[in-house]
Structure 1
Amino acid sequence: MESVIKYILTGIVPVIFLSVGFARANTDVIFIEDAIEAEKISVSINSNMTGHIIADVCPTCKSTRLAIDKNTQLFHKGKRIHLINLKKANGQPATVFYDIRKKIVTRIKW
Structure 2
Amino acid sequence: MVKLIFVRHGKDDNRYRGGWSNLDLIPEGMEQAKQLAQYLKDNNQDYLITHIISSDLPRTMSTAHFISSELGLPIQKEFRIREIDNGDLAGMLNDTALEKFEFFQH
Which TM-score applies when normalising by structure 2? Answer: 0.26
Q: Which has the higher contact order (CA 8 A, sep 6+)?
A: 2
Which has the larger share of strand? 1
Which has the larger share of helix? 2
Kindly name which structure, 1 or 2, has the bigger radius of gyration based on alpha carbons.
1
